[in-house]
Amino acid sequence: MRSLTVFLLASFAAVSTATEKPNIVFILADDLGFGDISCYNSESKVTTPHLDRMAREGMRFTDAHSPSTVCTPTRYSILTGQMAFRLNYPGVFTGVGGPCLITEDRLTLPEMLRNEEYETAMFGKWHIGLSFLDEHGQVIDDKEPPKETDRAIKANLGVEAVRRVDFSRAIPDAPIHRGFDHFFGTACCPTSDWLYAFIDGDRIPVPPTEVIDKAKLPGHEWSFDCRPGLVAPDFDHEEVDMVFLEKSLDFLDQHAREKPDKPFFLFHSLQAVHLPSFPGKDFQGKTEAGPHGDFIFQFDHIVGQLLAKIKALGLDENTLVIVTSDNGPEVGTVLNMRAKYGHDGARPWRGVKRDNWEGGHRVPMIVRWPGMIEAGAVADQTVCLTDVMATCAELVGADLPNDAAEDSVSVLPVILGETNQEVRDFTLHQTISLALAIRKGKWKYLDHQGSGGNNYDRGKLAKFNPPNTAPDAPGQLYDLDVDPGETNNLYFENLEIVKQLKEQLDRSVESGRSAPERVASRELILLEPGKVIVADDFAEKQMSKRVFLRGEWTVANGVASVVQDDEVYKKFNNHGPIIRYDFPFEDGIINFDFKGNGMRAFHCTVNGDDKWGLFRLGMNPTQSRLWTWVDGEGVNLFDGGPSLKDDEWVSVTIEFCGDTVAVHVGDEFQKTVTHSNFAKPKLFTGVRHAFGSFNVRNFSITEGTPKSKE
């Protein structure tokens, strides 16, 4: 949004004093549950001292969600800001499956940061698909066979696909061809795959040579899910995460030594704590919660090592660190940990990995940035990991185009403690089967029956399936404020809410986005933007010093809307609906977008200390007009310019600099006018229309200082 780009300075004033931009470190656990970290779960049987300390020194989110309930779609969504269900790709990749879900023309998080002069690196698990080539240079089509396929047949297909790879050939859609300068890691799940080998850049320097001998691996309740794939001589299943850690630590050292003035983005993507639970040799037996408890302990240690390195290099106060998980805890992990050690990685939520209930996608998320994030802060706003991209864009001042990060909303105001309001109007959820759900405030609607993932009708999960309170309902509606365990389906008791949420979900699917549309930033001609006086994203209908007048205004999806007909027009004495902002300013910038259908007129008026306007921009179906008032008489300053058009968003920017006003409408129109009235204090601003439908979004007023005339 333009309000997040033109007026960026206010969002991180403390770091805007120089060209220095903050480093960003994103640490992603695999299958780490909400209840696996001791600062989230007082009953956890594993202590996580480094994560607990990070939470004390930073901010802990209590309502953060992975974009999906399984690996591949979540990782796609983090790196693109787009929900993966929009690709219509169910499931996850295995072996040498591909191609990469991220197409070459899609803007990625690392590419966006690289465009802002960042060095970008990723170490660890990729799992978004890759195109491996055979000896003829043809892409190997290794699709995961249907779930019901015999295991022996699956193994044969998976291994034979790996055998066909020509490892002398580069991988054309490797991470270094999707925005990363450096990559070292694995194609899919590091220790649960048909291919056990490391990728360096876009090649596998040490190819696999033989089928793994699983008899040489640990055997326990958490050692399953290790496929009988081909393994490389340098690949140790128990030490892969320590290899990834060494790579990240070396990158940090080298970057600090060779490019100390260049910001970096480091994506550290772990195997921990995905099955099989093979903690490194230095961590075996470190807890009283078995191998999986040791694995969680190792993950915590790795986070501690990365934080310690950042501090040792003197980067602490200029580095934003985010730690989170790609989805909820695995079924077998949870069942065995509950039974043997009384540890519940999904606590306190219903559901686990693959499910659309909270346990499948509500994940821990801790952020730390000394001096910028309040120590010990707790955020209860609903956020999604798709939001990482828009947040980083706002942080570094990057413009996100409208056809990128379509499901990403910046949560930077939350991180910096600038708001305690929701920044998302609603949040989408998806499962491995592409079953969808939507969350808005306390209400959560699942557009399906059951979990959307795992089968709770039989087997070991059956005892965790509470009675269905609405068995005939085609969907599920829960009030999470009073029923966080999602046990009482209120579908039939609140049909109007079901209707509203279902319609919102359908609109988001059809429109291709859940984030508000963005308008490219515009070049200002009079002013340099400064402190933001007001930035209204219409997340809530009620806001101090903003008033809706005349008409039945609604606020949804970041847009304020109203409809006026002849009857309503007469009711309000031939005046149209208006949004009024009581925010005084002198030199400053007004910015907003509007859209209408059937409108006869549109006005933006700025008033001073009398009832007559200091300035007005008016538009009708034939032209635009700029005018002011003197002693109650209108003074026309300009006629011409753009006219009203139906169903098109129009961006408006108005610069007030002394006695001069510059008006920008859309991409083409720009007009400068001068009058002594414009130098007077501006006390309130209004936008209104006459007849038809009227929509407004992204309203802001920002202080400005005159540009240098040099």
> Roughly how many angstroms between the first and final C-alpha of the chain, as a whole number?
30
> Do 322 and 310 form a contact (C-beta atoms < 8 A)?
no
pLDDT band at 146 (very low <50, low <70, confident <90, very high): confident
> Do 190 and 125 form a contact (C-beta atoms < 8 A)?
yes
Amino acid at residue number 629: W
Tokens for 624, please give them: 């635009």
What percent of the chain is predicted at pLDDT more than 70? 95
What is residue 9's predicted lDDT score, i.e. its pLDDT?
34
Instruction: Please tell me the distance from the alpha carbon of residue 127 to that of residue 70, in angstroms, as a whole number.
Output: 11
For strands 624-630 and 613-619, give the pairing.
antiparallel
What is residue 329's predicted lDDT score, i.e. its pLDDT?
98
Give me the chain's average pLDDT, please.
Answer: 92
Instruction: Please tell me the distance from the alpha carbon of residue 329 to that of residue 335, in angstroms, as a whole number.
Output: 10
> Do 436 and 429 form a contact (C-beta atoms < 8 A)?
yes
Q: How many CA atoms lie within 13 A of 42 on its CB side?
A: 0
Instruction: Please tell me the distance from the alpha carbon of residue 124 to that of residue 108, in angstroms, as a whole number.
Output: 18
> Do 197 and 207 form a contact (C-beta atoms < 8 A)?
yes
Tokens for 35, please give them: 């209840």
What is residue 16's predicted lDDT score, i.e. its pLDDT?
35
pLDDT band at 14 (very low <50, low <70, confident <90, very high): very low
**Token pair 């999986």 in the structure block, residue:** 292
CA 349 and chain centroid, separation = 22
For strands 199-200 and 684-690, give the pairing.
unpaired
Residue 524 has pLDDT above 60, yes or no: yes
Mean pLDDT, range 614-630, rounded to an integer? 93
pLDDT band at 10 (very low <50, low <70, confident <90, very high): very low
> Do 109 and 122 form a contact (C-beta atoms < 8 A)?
no
What is residue 572's predicted lDDT score, i.e. its pLDDT?
57
The H-or-E segment that residue 596 falls in is: strand 588-597
Length of the chain: 710
With CA atoms as reference, report the closest residue to 661 among 678, 676, 677, 643: 678
DSSP string, 361-405: HEEEEEEE-TTTS-TTEEE-S-EETTHHHHHHHHHHTPPPPTTS-
pLDDT band at 27 (very low <50, low <70, confident <90, very high): very high
With CA atoms as reference, report the closest residue to 145 among 159, 131, 132: 159
Instruction: Please tell me the distance from the alpha carbon of residue 501 to that of residue 481, in angstroms, as a whole number.
Output: 17
What is residue 45's predicted lDDT score, i.e. its pLDDT?
97
Mean pLDDT, range 623-634, rounded to an integer? 90
> Do 328 and 361 form a contact (C-beta atoms < 8 A)?
yes
Instruction: Please tell me the distance from the alpha carbon of residue 625 to that of residue 642, in angstroms, as a whole number.
Output: 9
With CA atoms as reference, report the closest residue to 29 among 369, 383, 295, 343: 295
Which three-class secondary structure state does DSSP give residue 430?
A: strand
> Do 357 and 349 form a contact (C-beta atoms < 8 A)?
yes
Mean pLDDT, range 544-549, rounded to an integer? 92
What are 152-164's pLDDT values in tens digits?
787 789 999 999 9
What percent of the chain is predicted at pLDDT more than 90? 81
Of the candidate ranges 77-86, 486-495, 659-668, the one whose mean pLDDT is the lowest: 659-668
Instruction: Please tell me the distance from the alpha carbon of residue 502 to that of residue 324, in angstroms, as a whole number.
Output: 29
In a 10 Å sphere around its CB, with 0-12 CB exposed, 13-18 middle and 19+ buried, how is residue 179 labelled? buried
Q: How far is CA 187 from CA 72, 129, 304, in A?
A: 11, 7, 26
547 DSSP β-pair partners: 580
What are 108-137's pLDDT values in tens digits?
999 999 999 999 999 999 999 999 999 999
Residue 677 has pLDDT above 70, yes or no: yes
Residue 12 has pLDDT above 60, yes or no: no
Mean pLDDT, range 257-268, rounded to an integer? 97
DSSP string, 500-524: HHHHHHHHHHHHT-SSPP-------
Instruction: Please tell me the distance from the alpha carbon of residue 124 to that of residue 30, in angstroms, as a whole number.
Output: 11
What is residue 3's predicted lDDT score, i.e. its pLDDT?
34
Instruction: Please tell me the distance from the alpha carbon of residue 402 to that of residue 588, in angstroms, as a whole number.
Output: 26
Tokens for 626, please give them: 């700029």
Residue 101 has pLDDT above 60, yes or no: yes
What is residue 405's predicted lDDT score, i.e. its pLDDT?
97
Mean pLDDT, range 304-310, rounded to an integer? 98
Q: Which residues contact 523 (CB under 8 A, 6 or more apart)?
A: none
DSSP string, 179-247: T-SEEEEESS-TTSSSEE--EETTB-SS---EE--GGGS--STT-------EE-TT--TTTHHHHHHHH
Of the candidate ranges 230-234, 237-241, 621-625, the one whose mean pLDDT is the lowest: 621-625
Tell me 543's DSSP state.
Answer: B
Q: What per-residue string of b and e applies to 626-660 under the rule 16 or more CB within 10 Å gives b?
A: bbbbeeeeeeebeeebeebeeeebbbbbbbbbeeb
Q: Which residues contact 388 (CB under 8 A, 6 or more apart)?
A: 26, 78, 81, 109, 322, 408
Instruction: Please tell me the distance from the alpha carbon of residue 52 to that of residue 368, in angstroms, as a whole number.
Output: 12
Residue 554 has pLDDT above 70, yes or no: yes
If one counts every other C-beta atom within 10 angstroms of the C-beta of residue 253, the result is 13
What is residue 149's predicted lDDT score, i.e. its pLDDT?
79
Long-range contacts of 502-505 (CB under 8 A, 24+ apart): 502/445, 502/447, 502/475, 504/426, 504/438, 504/440, 504/556, 504/557, 505/428, 505/436, 505/437, 505/438, 505/445, 505/447
Max mean pLDDT among 199-208, 594-603, 689-698 falls in 199-208
Tokens for 5, please give them: 């780009």
What is residue 573's predicted lDDT score, i.e. its pLDDT?
62
Radius of gyration from C-alpha coordinates of the chain: 28
Mean pLDDT, range 669-688, rounded to an integer? 94
Which three-class secondary structure state does DSSP give residue 459?
A: helix
Residue 287 has pLDDT above 80, yes or no: yes
Which three-class secondary structure state does DSSP give residue 563?
A: strand
The H-or-E segment that residue 440 falls in is: strand 436-440
Mean pLDDT, range 198-216, rounded to an integer? 97
pLDDT band at 102 (very low <50, low <70, confident <90, very high): very high
What is residue 571's predicted lDDT score, i.e. its pLDDT?
66
What is residue 1's predicted lDDT score, i.e. its pLDDT?
33
